[in-house]
Amino acid sequence: MHDDRTLVEARLKRVLDERIRPAVYPESVPLDVAVWHAPGEPVPVAEGIAASVEPIEAGARWGAPWGTSWFRVTGTVPRAWAGRTVEALLDLGFDENMPGFQCEGLVYRPDGTPVKGLNPRNQWVRIGAPVEGGEEVRLHIEAASNPVILDYHPFLPTQLGDRETAGSEPQYRLERMDLAVFDETVWQLVVDLEVLGELMAELPLESARRWDVLRAVERALDALDLQDVGGTAAAARERLTDVLSTPAAPSAHRISAVGHAHIDSAWLWPLRETVRKVARTTSNMTALLEDEPDFVFAMSQAQQWAWVKEHRPEVWARVKKAVADGRFVPAGGMWVESDTNMPGSEAMARQFVHGKRFFLDEFGVENDEAWLPDTFGFAAGLPQIIKAAGSKWLLTQKISWSQTNKFPHHTFQWEGIDGTRIFTHFPPVDTYNCSMKGSEIAHAAANFKDKGVARHSLAPTGWGDGGGGTTREMVAKAARLRDLEGSATVVWETPGEFFAKAAAEYPNAPVWVGELYLELHRATLTSQAGTKQGNRRSEHLLREAELWAATAAVRTGLPYPYEALDRIWKTVLLHQFHDILPGSSIAWVHREARATYRRVAEELDGIIDVAQRALAGEGATDLVFNSAPHGRDGVPAGGARTPRIDGVAALAPRVQGGYVLDNGLLRVEIDGRGLVVSAYDLTADRETIAPGTAANLLQLHPDFPNMWDAWDVDEFYRNTVTDLVGTDGITPGEDGVSVRIVRSFGASRVTQVLSLAAGESRLDIDTEVDWHETEKFLKLAFPLDVHAERYASETQFGHFYRPTHTNTSWEAAKFEACNHRFVHIEEPGWGVSLVNDSTYGHDVTRTVRDTDGGTTTTVRVSLLRAPRFPDPETDQGVHRFRHALVPGAGIGDAVREGWRINLPERRVSGAHEVAPLVSVEQDAVVVTAVKLADDGTGDVVVRFHESRGGRTRATLVPGFDVATVTVTDLLERPLADATAPGRDGDRITVPLRPFELVTLRLRRA
């Protein structure tokens, strides 16, 4: 037979594009359209519907950046259309290639009832099926003219990312606004031909199935009269019945489709616009659920559910009904789909506490899965947190974005730092916006890494980010793919149903130990320093507020601020969303975030002050309140008393120029350039700084990644570096025992103060940068005389080791990584720690010196970047950082100093000392939270973990009478299988594995 395949395939494409798709709406009449442009921010629905409108014609421009326009469309269904299906086609000026990244609309009836969202791939509103003819149509559209930030030429700097700079130029042109007849048969033919055409393209050329489909398509096209598509569509469909009903092979890959609409809680739009994106999407999905009985939709991020409840009660009623029917599924059990690298231990735990509690309170639903398709890598402490929250599964997809190494599994057990394992899946479809295209389904089956031992994967299906979610076309395609020869099989299932099947078929899934590092988006550990500092400060202020408020409540009866703390926690958790905390949102988002963090700090400082004054009483004694989990200067952890400071620090000129700081434990030499050329540990008789090098060295790199400016730093940035060694002056500090260094470079200026703490082997470095560079990367380097093949970085509830070498491509790819409060490098018996109060990104490299054969291990802190997309003014202005170099530090010292620098002492005048509410006798045990139980019973909740990576036995001594002690999960519910803590009088003992996390609930007697 002659090969006419390409001829038939080209025929199919043209006939579909030019004849069949246009025939879905064979008749139409224009609607009358009028508009009111709301001034300022969005208005309530009733106000928008009642507003006075002006006529507007198709083709007219509308919509200033970030504006809201209320369109009123009216018309009459022609009587000649009686008995037919009629839809309104409402095109606001959409680009079908940009679902979720441009204008959107929500359609209302005149009484304010929402109908559905309008999106580039979802422009229709059903009027009647069938109509009688003569019906009056009146609809209102709340249209958002969100500007396109990520355009066809991506990553270009734009001022559109903030309403304050975006201007008023109309962004869109109104297109088709019609009433039209909807031909269901033609629409079904379109879906038939799309499914078969896409299937053909994925089958091998030598496959008999491909040619069977080709001939069936040819016969269908032959049956179609192109001058009467509607009249012959049914006959064409009959020619496709056999090829569409041939079942899939028994060995076919099995895909669980989950309706999905990944909505970034803020990204290229502000938080207030996400509220509306969620309302539009949930309106769409509840409507689709009513039309499609097999369809299942899942939505994560309890914050987004809460927005619907608060701002769109009319939509919320529909959502609640769909949840009750079991088809609109709360997923993930987190407050938002947060970043997981940077949030601290308690914050990561509270993501699950607040997320799961919302779904439990509202729907009685508890999630078994964590749902994080788009997060930029996963910290090694996360598995234990997921388990402690009562969950057991994790879904992600982002690991497929890694640039260097392809992850070896799609379904596996992920093991965290304490040994906890979580059954994990990342979909081989390689997208969290699957549209049921044949290429996507074929890719999922071919790409699946676990063939032969597993057969199930998941496909999150629907347009995200305000694109409207799953469409009726996707549902129709899935129906045809349920059991179709040549394709993977597709069935709509909830996440829980998928995971149960996947776990059952793969009980011995392979194990991946340690972090799930994303080999991409590494610069998110540094971009938008102000947002990151606000997060870190808020986390520690919340710790202080809970600790002192709980202590005051138990000791003095001061009312515990339940509502305020709950509200503030949710605010902080929201801002840990995986584009806000990572610094990859528009300027508007970060401007608001900085203002929010200032308000949070002011309110928490007030809570802390009230509690501490209640505890201290009226008096003139100088008391220091210690919020850290370790005692310092004679003040116990969680207590207050007059401090005891031993030793003094001294400053002297250095013979070769510069200064020497000495406190009897550490002697630091600062040369005339303001660089640390020696940090001598007098106790160990050992130098810290590598020979021939200098620490506290600021280094500046060009920083222009190939794409994703705020997200990425590409390894070639290291090829060019400028050491900032010139100074504008080096002088004694105002206290007479510190050194002040000023440097200028480019348009920027750095002021540093170096000092030694009395009685501590610690060099404190306070850095202020007035930053006005563009596309530059600022690092602070510490070359250390330490031979180490690995180093420790703090993560949630412990620390994680990374190699200092680049033996393999996996190690080389980690050229920028995350730490929390410390990194620690050690030879047996002696180590160095570098602690910080607000930075996360860093790199560690090693070289062998020619001079003496020794090893130099260099730790560099990432301070600032200056990307121009999506915020062209990223980080311009003044920033302050605190770091400390701790020679001679063991891992326990690193933990202690990391807490110290983040929880500075607070001084209060009072009448008496304050004993800790709960004391812990082992330094290796770190208490991360002391609070009152969320249920208002007055029980005291204490959360702690082993911090050094070894076994220990925690001994807690409560400073109040305890009736019962209960081991709980993160939601403060009893754990049925937990071993009861030991009791010996007022002492409570709990054995701990390395890094083990425990939550105790203490009922007061």
Q: Alpha helix (H) ranges present in 557-645? A: 562-574, 587-616
Question: What is the per-residue pLDDT for 2?
Answer: 77
Residues forming a β-bridge with 668: 661, 679
Question: What is the per-residue pLDDT for 1?
Answer: 66
Can you say whether the dihedral through the CA atoms of 777, 783, 788, 789 is positive or negative? positive
d(CA 140, CA 32): 12
Q: Write out the H or E segment, with its range, that includes residue 235.
A: helix 229-238
Residues forming a β-bridge with 173: 61
The reply to whether the predicted model has a pTM over 0.85 is: yes
The residues, any chain, with a CB within 8 Å of residue 974's CB and separated by 6 or more, are 966, 967, 968, 1001
Tokens representing 641 are 């008393």
The residues, any chain, with a CB within 8 Å of residue 552's CB and separated by 6 or more, are 558, 610, 611, 612, 614, 615
What values do phi and psi take at 804, rounded to 5? -95, -10
The residues, any chain, with a CB within 8 Å of residue 452's CB and separated by 6 or more, are none
HEC letters along 890-914: CHHHHHHHHHHHHCCCEEEEECCCE
Catalytic residue chosen out of the listed positions 192, 374, 662, 764:
374
DSSP 40-82: SS---HHHHHHS--EE--TT-EE--TTEEEEEEEEEE--GGGT
Q: Mean pLDDT of residues grouped by 10 in the chain (1005 residues)? A: 90 98 98 97 97 97 98 98 98 95 97 96 97 97 98 96 97 98 98 98 96 98 98 98 98 98 98 97 96 97 98 94 96 98 98 98 96 98 98 96 97 98 98 98 98 97 96 98 98 98 97 98 98 98 98 98 98 98 98 98 98 97 97 96 89 96 97 98 98 98 98 98 97 95 98 95 98 98 98 98 98 98 97 98 97 97 98 98 98 98 96 97 97 98 98 97 97 93 93 98 96
d(CA 551, CA 942): 12
Tokens representing 716 are 């070639």
Tokens representing 674 are 């303001």
| Short-list 14, 28, 21, CA closest to 230 | 21
What values do phi and psi take at 591, rounded to 5? -60, -45
d(CA 681, CA 687): 6
Catalytic (active site) residue 374: yes
Q: Are strands 369-371 and 393-395 parallel, antiparallel or unpaired?
A: parallel
d(CA 590, CA 596): 9
